[in-house]
Amino acid sequence: MPDSNSLKKSPSLDKWISIVSDGRVLIHTGKVDIGQRISTALAMIAAEELDVDISRIDIARTETGVDPDEGITSGSNSMEEAGNAVRAASATARRHLLSLAADALGVDVSTLEISDGLIQSRGTNLSVTYPELAGDQTFGIDVDPEAPVKDPATYGVVGKPVVTRGLTEIVTGQPHFVQDMKMPGMLHARIVRPPHYKARLKSLDDSAAERITDNGCEVVRDGSFLAVASADEFAAVKAAERLFESSDWDLGEGLEPQDIFERLVTNERVSLPVVDGVPQKEVVKPLASPPGDAAATLKARYEKPYLMHGSIGPSAAVALADGDKLTVWSHSQGVYVLRASLSEALGMEIEDLTVIHVPGSGCYGHNGADDAAVDAALIALAIPGKPILLKWTREDEHAWEPYASCMAMDLTASIDGDGKVIAWSQDTYSDTYGMRPRPEPGGAGPARLLAMQYREEAVTPLVPQPNMSRHAGLHRNLDPLYSFENKRLVKNLVRDLPLRTSALRTLGAFANVFAIESFMDELAEEAGIDPVTFRLNHLEDQRAKEVLQAAADKLGWGLRCQKDEDGALHLRNTKTFKPMPRSR
């Protein structure tokens, strides 16, 4: 199997699989279900390799200190990382249980067969179950990445229809999400947000705060971090509204109206050339004049606005401070990195913090889940002994979650008389896509958490540094798949843009690809060449060429239905192209 970082971090088989006395199998994973249904996929993998009916496979909710640390659930890596790890763990467990069964039954392991966790000997008809073999003992061995796995030709579960995990609860409206959690003595909490990012709380109206307290609500203030909590959820909502209206806010310079696409190219920025998809710590070369043999040179700009996740349910979290311990229930995509950043932000020992994943609204990127967890934690620490259910409002989610950055792409290209691209340049301008609360030197983890910027001892907002990985962040897919001569590719990480940004699906890729493909259409039209042919002429990757051709064939590219003299329909190639201009 592929080299597994998940297994390197958590090699023990007991970290991945538990055999329960009632015959059920509990699978542990560090990858969380955010709507992509990794829980169903992992259950299928485990059921297949263990020869256990999938209805008896349970997937544990990821909890720090208990389940494997698999980093962040992002980048479409769950099947590659957790899937392969669970497959290897299940294969290791199966082989180990077969060995135990052979000893227990006094037979050769080659005579044993497994059916739904029951191991039988063909020769003696003796049998033993997984729970009987496991007893109350742990496996006590490491996962063997090379443990033999099943031949796909023998699969009985993978590839067959199954009911998605949690779907019944969702469609029947049963409690399923973190917003549905109920605990004895629980308080409902709401944040009182500043009017905008730069506003800070000057003072509270003491009489208004006193009336709110007299009505059974608790007020929590730490600098400009302001919240209310109450046993009655509606009372908390109304108290937050009254507290906002009666508070005195320093609006500072405010958020001035601006042309964001102009700011993208005029603000301070870090500019780096990109070679083979990797940024280089070198000076960017200026755009050169068109080559002498250029028949035409085109320029184009493409723009992408800020995008929000727009989750169907706003972010939420539950937190409970009990003595020197703090437990947080969150729909974070990275419970371990959130715990590490929380530990640093709150000055707590990491062993005293537990973060447990509970499903929330599905997402494809860094939404408000981590920030809501911090909000809940701060309120819980201020009101110890009481579980705090903190829900963001729709306004909170849309105004305060991290957005996907706006982007601008400036492209220039020259083609020769044969329609070949002989020079290509692209400058991409964008804010960061990397603001997940990863703990890093210099307090970068806490600096990425929203509430930490509003506390009395506020953390200075993080100044993001360029992502230098291959095809990452804003330069993902900036380097096109096409084979061009004289490529000039530049990533521009722009500073001091107005909105808070982080990861959203494909990061900078879809804007870069949109720009590249749109420009290819413009160049093909200028060259008088069919757009599909023009692309094929600039591809060397055989698989890419076959995919493009197959797509064109399926679409009937260039073909139209026409009637003949007898009224029968026939496909005809109706595309015509203008001749290639010799100059521009």
> Per-residue pLDDT tens for 311-320?
889 999 999 9
258: left (phi over 0), alpha (psi -120 to 50) or beta: beta
Other CB atoms within 10 Å distance of the CB of residue 287 = 14
| pLDDT tens sequence across 42-90 | 999 999 999 999 999 999 999 999 999 999 999 888 999 999 999 999 9
Average pLDDT value for the chain: 93
Do 43 and 118 touch, CB atoms closer than 8 A?
A: no
Q: Give the model's pLDDT for residue 411.
A: 98
Q: Give the model's pLDDT for residue 583.
A: 40
Q: Give the model's pLDDT for residue 1.
A: 60
- 520: part of which helix (H) or strand (E)? helix 509-527
> Can you give the C-alpha Rg of the chain in angstroms?
29
Q: How far apart are CA 503 and CA 364, in angstroms?
A: 8
User: What string of DSSP letters covers 45-57?
Assistant: HHHHHHT--GGGE
- Sorted by sequence, the CB contacts under 8 Å of residue 11 that are 6+ apart come out as 142, 143
Q: Give the model's pLDDT for residue 2.
A: 63
pTM, whole model, 2 decimals?
A: 0.91
Instruction: Identify each DSSP E strand in 433-581 by its residue range.
Output: 487-494, 559-563, 569-573
The answer to which of 246-255, 343-352, 494-503 has the lowest mean pLDDT is 246-255
Do 369 and 333 touch, CB atoms closer than 8 A?
A: yes
| pLDDT tens sequence across 516-569 | 999 999 999 999 999 999 999 999 999 999 999 999 999 988 765 555 677 664
Q: Give the model's pLDDT for residue 256.
A: 78
pLDDT band for position 138 (50/70/90)? very high
CATH classification code of 5-168: 3.30.365.10
Instruction: List the domain boundaries for the chain.
Output: 5-168, 183-252+313-399, 260-307+403-432+467-524
- 545: part of which helix (H) or strand (E)? helix 542-555
CATH classification code of 183-252+313-399: 3.30.365.10
User: What string of DSSP letters covers 239-255?
Assistant: HHHHHHHHSEEE-TT--
Q: How far apart are CA 36 and CA 516, in angstroms?
A: 29
- Nearest 5°: phi and psi at 117? 80, 5
Other CB atoms within 10 Å distance of the CB of residue 183 = 13
CATH classification code of 260-307+403-432+467-524: 3.30.365.10
Q: Give the model's pLDDT for residue 442.
A: 87
Residue type, 13: L
* Beta bridge partner(s), residue 494: 269
Q: How far apart are CA 486 and CA 288, in angstroms?
A: 10
